[in-house]
Each structure stands twice: as structure tokens, then as C-alpha cells.
């Protein structure tokens, strides 16, 4: 029988605990080192693309996928920002569609795609765009635009692929702004729409006159209420990047009540200011196909013209001249045929397309009225060269978005009104003087 003293037992127990503690300490160091070594291992473009593509699945564990991205390749992006960024990218995918595969775009196709994304060489994201890796995503659903879904990976100077936090935040801001923009029209909120007009991307300053802004906002609301037949949920995000968001509205009625598609764009400039490109058709009114003189309606573009008619309305012209034959007559005579005839008055000219035999012997059709310096002549009852850009907006609220060029098609004929503005000499109130009015039939 062996007897063990309590003293020896205590020593052995203490020695065993010490050994265990030492082992635990070194295991902890090994585990920590192993973890650090794993975190330092970078992932390449295909792996990063796979993580993002897998995150687009509604059933994916986004947090687990996010944690697979090494910290140095997240650019400080938080898990909540990652969630929001992915939710924006998901909106390019039809709700019922499922991602089936992806392809990294390279070579000439990549260069062409990135070049299209650059609309301003001075933009802060231009260099970042050039270094992007586009990833094309295939789905089992149908996109109305027919354009493939493309997302973008960013690369550092050393070639390391990463998620640029600023890029992701800009995408989120563009989407958030667009949602507010469309919501204002869905709710027919006049006050909100008026405030949003300042974001519309036009060359001219908007008038401070609230009446003009109010009429423009009301017309915008009317367009969205009556012409845009697609619900907001049916709008398709065609593409999104840090500086550009493109929507497709699948069903929009045009002025002839034909259903077409329509594009709305949101852009963010180098200062982060968002602008909207949401052009609405400003169709030329029938009343403005006439030249007015001394407040009275006279001749209409596209109508038959004769010398006696003009003299009774405007007096004797300063000059009458003609150009070369445009369409030869069947007689074969090189001087016999249709040509442009120019009738000049003080401050305006009238062009007739027809047969010319002399200054008082011609016949044809009015094809063009050009007014540049006349207080008597105007286009329609409300437009004269003594007016300004803001006067135009009273009649045509979206003329600024159409570059002050208005068109209409009647009975198969196309007509156009070009309003020339003297941009070098703006008025003190910000409006721009009209220097030329050209009303014409397009094509002879």
C-alpha cells in the first residue's frame, strides 16, 4: 500500500495546472497568428465577384459573405453600408429572377463599356472608372431594356481588387435621390416638384418667377399622371455607377397616344451635386405654325404661296431671289423645276419652295419663316424676337430641356420651331433675349 501525502498531491496538481495554462497561452498565440495570416490573404477579382454575386441572392447570408472580404479590401465599408449597397444593386434584377452565372468583362469590350460611363473628364470618379473591372451578371429572368446587368469592382494602383466605399455611397445617394424624385410625382406633391425643378439639368437659369415654376411643375405632374403608364415598381434600373443612374420607364404615351419607352437619368457631378435628365416632349402648337404680323394671323408654313398674297399682307418686299433648281421638271429644261425662293422684308424673310419665273411671277409652298429684327412679325400669337427665354417657358414649360427646339408632325409633315437665344448678353434677371425665330417645314 502506497501512501501519498497531501503536500505532494498539491504540488503535482499545481504543476499540472501550470502546464495547462502554458499550453493554452501558446495555443491562443497560434490561433491568433493563424487568424491574422488568414486575414492578410487577399482575394482576387473572381473571388470578389463571386462574393458580390452571391450577395445578390435574397437567401444569402450577406454578413458571412461580407466577412469573407479582407478588411483591407473593404475600404472602411461597414456591414450596414454593404447591406444597403447590395440592396441597390439588387434593384437591377427583376424581383422574380435568379442569378445563374457571371462573367468578368475584359479587353476591348471592357474598354468600350468604361468609356461610355465617362461623361465628364474632370469628374473625380473618372480615373476610378478607368481602373474598374466590370462584371456581367446572367439571370434566368427578362429585363425590359434587354441590357445585361453589370456591376463594378474597383482596383488599387498595385492591382488589388477592392470595394471603394465612396463609389458605393455615391450609388446609394443616387438611388435615394431618385426614389424621392419619383415619389414626389406619384404623390402629385406640387411643392416638392417645384423644389426638384432646380435639379433638372438645363443650360439656362430657371426663372425666379414662381408662376412659371408652378406651371412647369404642374405640367410635369400632369405628364407623370397621364402619360407615364408604368408604376414606379415597374421602372427598370438599366445601370448604376458612382456618377450615373439610368432608369427605363417601360410604358409611356407620346403626343400621338402611342406607347413607347422612356429614359430618365440621374447624374452626380464632381462636387456630389445630383442633376436630373428627365426631358418631356414640348410639341409645337398648331397656332404657332402661323406668322403673325401686327398682332394678326397671316400665312402658315406648309400652305400655298403666291406673290399677290404676300404684298397685301406685308407690302412690297425688299428683294426676291431664288436658288438653283433642286428638283428638275419633266420637260428636261435645266432652268425649269422647283427651287427655293427667298422673299426678304425688313427684319424677316420668307422662303417658298416652288417655280420661279420672276420677282412677281412665282408659285409654291411656304417652307420657312425667319425673324431676327422685327417688332411687327412673330411666330404664333405670343412669340416675338423682343421676348426672352422666360417668355417662351410660359407657352412651352419644357422648351429649355429641348434646347428651345420644338417640333410637331401633322398629316405626315414635320414642322420645327428653332428659338435662337443671345447667350452672350443675358438680361439682369437671368433670362436670355431671343435673337432669332425660325419656323420651318422639315423636308421639301
pLDDT given at position 216: 87
Reported as a single tens digit per residue, the pLDDT across 46-66 is 999 999 999 998 888 999 999
Q: Which of 40-44, 78-82, 180-184 has the lowest mean pLDDT?
A: 40-44
Reported as a single tens digit per residue, the pLDDT across 329-345 is 766 666 678 999 999 99
User: Is residue 323 over pLDDT 50?
Assistant: yes
pLDDT given at position 9: 45
CA-wise closest residue to 82 among 161, 155, 177, 171: 171
Reported as a single tens digit per residue, the pLDDT across 3-14 is 333 344 455 544
pLDDT given at position 4: 35
Reported as a single tens digit per residue, the pLDDT across 407-424 is 998 888 999 999 999 999
Measured between alpha carbons, how far is residue 388 from residues 140, 377, 392 in Å?
Answer: 54, 15, 7
pLDDT given at position 202: 61
Task: Copy the grid coordinates of residue 23.
Answer: 499550453
DSSP state, 426? Answer: -
pLDDT greater at residue 255 or residue 25? 255
Mean pLDDT along residues 206-227: 84
pLDDT given at position 7: 41
CA torsion, ordered 187, 397, 405, 412, to nearest 10 deg: 70
How many CB atoms within 10 Å of residue 394? 17
Mean pLDDT along residues 93-105: 92
CA-CA distance, 411 to 161, in Å (whole number)?
Answer: 58
Mean pLDDT along residues 219-234: 94
Mean pLDDT along residues 7-34: 47
Mean pLDDT along residues 286-311: 95
Name residue, grid cell 422662303.
Answer: 351
Is 399 exposed, middle or buried (CB count within 10 Å of its CB: 0-12, 13-18, 19+)? Answer: buried
- Contacts of residue 322, defined as CB under 8 A and 6 or more positions apart, other chains included, come to 339, 340, 341, 342, 356, 362
pLDDT given at position 228: 96
CA-CA distance, 315 to 309, in Å (whole number)?
Answer: 10
Instruction: State the average pLDDT for the chain.
Output: 87
CA-wise closest residue to 314 among 344, 341, 287: 344
pLDDT given at position 30: 42
Mean pLDDT along residues 415-441: 93
Mean pLDDT along residues 250-258: 88
pLDDT given at position 213: 84
pLDDT band at 401 (very low <50, low <70, confident <90, very high): confident
Helix (H) or strand (E) run with residue 168 in it: helix 165-186
Q: Which of 3-7, 39-43, 106-110 has the highest mean pLDDT?
A: 106-110
**String of DSSP letters for 299-329:** EETTSEE-HHHHHHHH-S-SEEEEEEEEEE-
Q: Which residues pair with 102 in a beta bridge?
A: 137
CA torsion, ordered 31, 35, 41, 46, to nearest 10 deg: 120
User: Is residue 26 over pLDDT 60?
Assistant: no
Task: Copy the grid coordinates of residue 316.
Answer: 412690297
E strand map for 219-331: 236-241, 244-253, 259-268, 274-277, 290-293, 296-300, 304-305, 319-328
State the distance between the two ends of the chain, measured CA to CA, in whole angstroms. 127
Amino acid at each position: 500500500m502506497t501512501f501519498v501525502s497531501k503536500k505532494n498531491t498539491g504540488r503535482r496538481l499545481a504543476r499540472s495546472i501550470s502546464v495547462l495554462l502554458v499550453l493554452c497561452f501558446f495555443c491562443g498565440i497560434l490561433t491568433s497568428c493563424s487568424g491574422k495570416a488568414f486575414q492578410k490573404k487577399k482575394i482576387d477579382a473572381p473571388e470578389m465577384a463571386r462574393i458580390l454575386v452571391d450577395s445578390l441572392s435574397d437567401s444569402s447570408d450577406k454578413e458571412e459573405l461580407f466577412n469573407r472580404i479582407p478588411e483591407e479590401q473593404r475600404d472602411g465599408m461597414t456591414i450596414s453600408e454593404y447591406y444597403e449597397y447590395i440592396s441597390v444593386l439588387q434593384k437591377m434584377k427583376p424581383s422574380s429572377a435568379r442569378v445563374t452565372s457571371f462573367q468578368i468583362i475584359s479587353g476591348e469590350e471592357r474598354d468600350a463599356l468604361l468609356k461610355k460611363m465617362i461623361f465628364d473628364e474632370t469628374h473625380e470618379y473618372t480615373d476610378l472608372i478607368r481602373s474598374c473591372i466590370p462584371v456581367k451578371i446572367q439571370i434566368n429572368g427578362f429585363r425590359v431594356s434587354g441590357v445585361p446587368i453589370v456591376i463594378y469592382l474597383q482596383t488599387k494602383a498595385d492591382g488589388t481588387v477592392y470595394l471603394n466605399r465612396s463609389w458605393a455611397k455615391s450609388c446609394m445617394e443616387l438611388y435615394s435621390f431618385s426614389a424621392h424624385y419619383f415619389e414626389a410625382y406619384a404623390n402629385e406633391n406640387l411643392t416638392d416638384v417645384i423644389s426638384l425643378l432646380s435639379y433638372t439639368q438645363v443650360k439656362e437659369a430657371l426663372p425666379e418667377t414662381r408662376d412659371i415654376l408652378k406651371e412647369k411643375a404642374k405640367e410635369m405632374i400632369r405628364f407623370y399622371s397621364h402619360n407615364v403608364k408604368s408604376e414606379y415598381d415597374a421602372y427598370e434600373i438599366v445601370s448604376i455607377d458612382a456618377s450615373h443612374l439610368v432608369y427605363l420607364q417601360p410604358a409611356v404615351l407620346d403626343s400621338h397616344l402611342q406607347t413607347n419607352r422612356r429614359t430618365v437619368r440621374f447624374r452626380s457631378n464632381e462636387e456630389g451635386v445630383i442633376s436630373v435628365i428627365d426631358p418631356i416632349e414640348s410639341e409645337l402648337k398648331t397656332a404657332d405654325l402661323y406668322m403673325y404680323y401686327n398682332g394678326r394671323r397671316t400665312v402658315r408654313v406648309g400652305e400655298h404661296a403666291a406673290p399677290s398674297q404676300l404684298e397685301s399682307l406685308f407690302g412690297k418686299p425688299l428683294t426676291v431671289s431664288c436658288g438653283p433648281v433642286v428638283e428638275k421638271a419633266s420637260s428636261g429644261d435645266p432652268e425649269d423645276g422647283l427651287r427655293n425662293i427667298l422673299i426678304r422684308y425688313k427684319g424677316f424673310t420668307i422662303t417658298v419652295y416652288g417655280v420661279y419665273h420672276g420677282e412677281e411671277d412665282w408659285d409654291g409652298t411656304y417652307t420657312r419663316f425667319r425673324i431676327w429684327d422685327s417688332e411687327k412679325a412673330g411666330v404664333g400669337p405670343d412669340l416675338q424676337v423682343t421676348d426672352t427665354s422666360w417668355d417662351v417657358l410660359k407657352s412651352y414649360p419644357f422648351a429649355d430641356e429641348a434646347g428651345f427646339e420644338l417640333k410637331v408632325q401633322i398629316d405626315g409633315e414635320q414642322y420645327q420651331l428653332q428659338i435662337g437665344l443671345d447667350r452672350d448678353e443675358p438680361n439682369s434677371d437671368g433670362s436670355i433675349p431671343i435673337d432669332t425665330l425660325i419656323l420651318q417645314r422639315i423636308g421639301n
